[in-house]
Amino acid sequence: MPGIDSFTKIMLHFNGSDAGTTFTDSSASAHTFTGAGNAQLDTAIKKFGTAALLCDGTGDYVSAPDSTDFTLASNDWTIDFWFNVAGGSGTNRRAFGQFDGVNNSSVSVVGRLTNSNVWLVTIITNTIGIGSILGTTAFTTSGWHHFALVRTGNTIKLFLDGVQDGSDLSFTLPVNDSAEAFFIGNNRALTTEAWNGSIDEFRLSNGIARWTTAFTPPSSEYATDQTITGALFTNTQSFPSAMLSWTQTITAALFTNSQSFFGSAATYVRTIAGALFTNTNTFYGASTLPVEAIFATLFTNTQEFFASYLERAPGPPGPITDLYRRTSARKRAFWEAVAASRFRSRY
């Protein structure tokens, strides 16, 4: 499924051969993560792909030097991963974060299982104020679970297996800009509080709140969103006929004689720019329409712009607030929205 985009600053699939010690960051930043202790890839206990990170609770971790990518400031952001506990019940087990092991001024965000086996996340402000969320769900047995920590506006939420755990944390100030390395499997060399178990699909997203309400956790590992640019599609019956398309951006592309531009039930296209669609019977036949922005695009001889029931796209900088429908009133509303947003398109 998609999920590796411009907001993705760390993406560790932890794939590789058994006992491997190469930890590849698949984000565009490609930070260099180095293992310590016995941190290694394990092919026997994994959530997705070929392997997962295995830590034995005695000083194992992977880390990358500090980067501006990790500066969360007042942005929306998301940290999510899969975890599997293998032991250590009744002890602190640190899973991720930036922390020198001693000083609060070194902390940005840290997360750990407490000696009560519940999650505790701590976030430090730039004035060294401390905020925290204490979960209520105890994890004492093995089995894979999804973790997500999300900042949306001035609120931070913890989700476990897609369900909010603990209370909202009101957080109005920037997150402290730590100079420490980013650790996974520990926070610094705290050998007595290291993670005991496995971690898979670790992702840091800076600039986006991936989830704000209950959700279904991902069913496969994340993939890179695709871009179509400078392409010509002609006499295409249905552009993507698959149930899901991972295309994120379409730019400088020409589609002619396409019976249905998108025939899928859900698509991930966010931006269409500088494109020409001509003789397209149905632009979107999907029921889920996540397009955020359409600009500098020409549509000709298109019978139906959107055939679905829900027809709104809220994207910046010129949002289309009421898309073209078949009734005169809807057409008028569409062109009014066009004029209001300085959107330029033509049918």
* Residue bearing the bigger pLDDT, 327 or 202: 202
The reply to whether CATH 2.60.120.200 applies to domain 2-206 is yes
pLDDT at 247: 64
Q: Does residue 77 register a pLDDT over 90?
A: yes
Nearest Cα residue to 25 out of 34, 206, 82: 34
The tens digit of pLDDT for each residue in 254-263 reads 777 766 666 5
Q: How far is CA 185 from the centre of its chain?
A: 20
Average pLDDT on 150-171 reads: 97
Query: Which residues contact residue 258 at a Cβ distance below 8 angstroms, ignoring those fewer than 6 apart?
Result: 233, 234, 235, 236, 237, 238, 239, 277, 279, 280, 281
**Cα separation of 99 and 281, whole Å?**
57
Highest mean pLDDT of the ranges 198-202, 279-283, 311-315, 338-342? 198-202
Given this model, what pLDDT does residue 340 score? Answer: 55
* pLDDT of amino acid 125: 93
Q: What's at 202, amino acid-wise? A: F
pLDDT at 320 over 50: no
pLDDT of residue 123: 96
- Give mean pLDDT, residues 338-342: 51
Give the domain ranges of the chain.
2-206, 225-346
- Output the CA torsion sign for 50, 224, 207, 188: positive
Rounded to the nearest integer, the mean pLDDT of the chain is 81
- C-alpha–C-alpha distance, residues 248 and 261, integer Å: 14
* Cα 213–chain centre separation: 14
* Bridge-based pairing state of the strands 93-97 and 52-56: unpaired
Closest to 217 measured CA to CA, from 48, 10, 39: 48
Q: Which pLDDT belongs to residue 323?
A: 40
Of the candidates 265, 266, 297, the one whose C-alpha atom is nearest the C-alpha of residue 280 is 297
Residue range 45-71: mean pLDDT, rounded: 95
Confidence of residue 267 (pLDDT cuts 50, 70, 90): low
Q: How many CB atoms lie within 10 A of CB 287?
A: 12
Helix (H) / strand (E) element for 202: namely: strand 196-206
Rounded-to-integer distance, Cα 73 and Cα 31, Å:
20
Residue 165 has φ and ψ, to the nearest 5°, of -120, 130
Average pLDDT over residues 178-194: 87
CA 210/CA 320 separation, integer angstroms: 23
Report the alpha-carbon angle 184-186-187, nearest 5: 100
